[in-house]
C-alpha cells in the first residue's frame, strides 16, 4: 500500500477526533495540520487499520483556545496495524486550532 494512502487514513483517524470535539464544543474553531512525520516499519499489505488514542489531548487544547482566544497546537499519533496485528506504520500529526473571527 502506498505511503500516501496510509497517510490519508492515519490523518483521518486523528482529524475525526479533533473535528468531533470542535463540533461538540459549540464554538466556531478552525483546524489545520501544521506538521507531520511518519515511520514505516513493515510493508503494508492487506487491510490496514489506523488507530489514534490521543483524543484526551484535544479537550485541554480546546479549553485553552476558548478561554484565551489564542491558537493551540497538539500532536496526535496514529498507528497502522495489519490483519495480524503487526505495526506497519506510525504517523504523527501536529494539529493547530484557533477561534474563528
Return the percent helix, strand and coil in the chain, to nearest 5: 35, 40, 25
Residue 2's pLDDT is 82
CATH code where residue 53 lies: 3.10.129.10
- Grid coordinates representing 18 are 479533533
Which residue range is the domain that position 27 belongs to?
3-99
Residue 51's pLDDT is 98
Structural domain count of the chain: 1
- Grid coordinates representing 4 are 500516501
Averaged pLDDT in 10-residue chunks for the chain of 101 residues:
90 98 97 98 96 96 96 98 98 97 80
Residue 1's pLDDT is 64
Amino acid at each position: 500500500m502506498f505511503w500516501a494512502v496510509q497517510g490519508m487514513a492515519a490523518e483521518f483517524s486523528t482529524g475525526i477526533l479533533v473535528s468531533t470535539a470542535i463540533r461538540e464544543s459549540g464554538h466556531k474553531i478552525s483546524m489545520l495540520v501544521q506538521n507531520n512525520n511518519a515511520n514505516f516499519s513493515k510493508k503494508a499489505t492487506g487491510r490496514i487499520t489506523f488507530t489514534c488514542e490521543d483524543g484526551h489531548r484535544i479537550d485541554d487544547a480546546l479549553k485553552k483556545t476558548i478561554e484565551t482566544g489564542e491558537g493551540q497546537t497538539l500532536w496526535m499519533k496514529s498507528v497502522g496495524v495489519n490483519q495480524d496485528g503487526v505495526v506497519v506504520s506510525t504517523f504523527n500529526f501536529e494539529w493547530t486550532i484557533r477561534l474563528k473571527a
